[in-house]
Structure 1
Amino acid sequence: MSNLVYSASRSATDAYRLVSRLQLSFVDGLDAVARSVATPCETHNVEWLRDHGSHGGGNRYGLTGPLFNRSSVNISQVHYDDLPSKKLGSATALSTIIHPDNPLAPSLHLHISWTEFKNKTGFWRLMADLNPAIEDTHATQTFNNCLKTVASKSYLEASSQGDQYFYIPVLKRHRGVAHFYLEGYQTDRPEADSEFAGAFGQAVIHCYLTLLKQAVTQSAIITEVHYQQQLDYHTLYFLQVLTLDRGTTSGLLIHDQNDIGILASLPANINKPLLTAWQKKLPPLQNQLLANILAVLPEQSLCPINDQTKKVIATTIRCHYQDNPASIDLQANAAKATQTVAHHRG
């Protein structure tokens, strides 16, 4: 029996139900796509606990099989009901990344979270981005149309924020081809806000499952060139997540009880010589961070990123920011920013 204690807040409870439904819907959908193309997958669920469960925790589904390079569908709820000195009440989230094995199929990142303070104020964060190694312009258009339809008036703001957040300055390109990042979303109709968050998640999941199935059932011949393009793109994804992504860094700095889950977004392998070549492009503090990460990676050109390596990477990142707190200012920004680490520590 799990020792995980959930928040007593009604809105946090409702948010956890929402992300739980989305999690199961996505896992079932991914499994259905795998079965439809005769590549059945195995589904694994791992639970993690914050402070032995007294302050919440979460679980993540991973799907393994020929369809997936990496997959992780996480939900979590961290709360501080028993710590009256903290202003933050709870943070409830769905965070998922799917990297298909097929280089013609795009990766997806989806994040939906509810943050609530003890004064009963709160906000939603909604993120979705399509990340292909090899772009299919029809898939990009389909994904953007999905976002426009479900987000309506919020689309332009969130698209602009997403493009800003997922830009990689040293490579002069974005991580993906379609980006949506709505930060600090709240209106005077909390029930409608929650319904919007749920509808957003369901729409993105449905759209992505359709694009994934289309990609893996097309008759195009996949070559070694395609796989090399995918490996190089996964290396770019690795660079962006570990040197620019505030969500990843914040999660690692807040606690060390879910390192593997937080770094579940990393692909299975990267091109280490390419990553090494990019190091010299980075400003000094990020150069140092990447040098430290490179030092703990396996000495292989086709460099595997397994769970043990993730643990070492997480420790390396924490040490870097503890020694160089100014490095946090070099991370990605959008028009709106929240102080995630400060909220959890304050």
Structure 2
Amino acid sequence: MRISEFRITRFQFARDRVIGDSQVRADDVNIAALELIADTGAVGLGFIQTLFYPLPDQVEIERVFRSEVWPGLEGQPPAGLVHRVGRPRGGNQRAYTLPFHEALQVALWDLAAKEVNLPLHQLLGSRRDKVEAYASGLDYHLSDDEFARFFAHADALGYRAFKIKVGNPDFDWDLNRLNILKQVVRKDALVMIDSNEAWGAKEALVKLTAIRDAGHELLWVEDPILRTDYAGLRMLKDAANWTLINSGEYLDAHGKRLLMEQDATDILNVHGQVTDVMRIGWLAADRGIPVSLGNTFLEVGIHAACALPEVQWLEYSFQNFDHLVDQPVEIKDGWAYAPDRPGHGLVLNETARREWARPHLLPRSELGEAPFNPRVAKAQRAA
């Protein structure tokens, strides 16, 4: 199998709810589907995503891809590319002009698994086909009523673990959110909080202590302080022994390695770059450090989650992407199930390509209504 061509489809549409945290917010979806096509006709699918600014017109995305990426792909075997080690020195140590990196890894692994006719999680060495999912609201910019409805819906669907955003300058706001959550979810719920680096190290310890004293038990606190404050993270890890520190989300593979070497986290947070995740996951397993799978586009991270021995949790945030593929990852009663189809199991939906493709950049006023999200509708009916 050799890569012979590529296809890019640009999408832009409104979200069904605003998402964000103490530092950022996003109102719209700005993505492009990357399809790598092999000489056998097999297609590997990945998604190029920007959270805060729209992607340029499709012809410009294609131009940049053809210039910066395609020369290293054309005629190459996907199964070799997924394991290739680069030599990042000097000017070669740079990002692409557009965020192709994750889409490339996902699409290449999709092709590699299809070549041997295996689901991706089996190619990666899984011994299971499901992982428990926690409900994540990306909820900082929701009103209290919206927040309550969202997590009540998630609880009705069978989730037993819930992660909320904190880090408001008014700490009473954070405590109020925790109080609301306690009122709308099951009594034995597991609770995680994520401040997205809003706090300093000593501040975080004071606030975590206050949260505990207010009667809230936390499974973990995610990214409480700056990602590279290894000394501060290590201090929190040792001092706040009633909860766990989950960090690493914002670090590349090199930074995650340093984080573990500094003994500065209880749980390592990884996302959707399959090759990077498997490599750093191996190091985490070698050190006995648990791994959590954060948000991955259309939950493609379920494959790495099933393959890595230290993963207990997969994040699910109810984002309205399901219409983009024929069969999204199944999530039922708080468990995410890895597809048993060859590759990662996600195929771009032709109706979505026809009806939701936006080859040209549109102003927000022309985006119209958000796509229908059946999982959220189901949650609303359950509630």
Q: Which has more helix, going by share of residues? A: 1
Q: Which has the higher contact order (CA 8 A, sep 6+)?
A: 2
Bigger CA radius of gyration: 2
TM-score by length of 2: 0.22
TM-score normalised to structure 1 length: 0.24
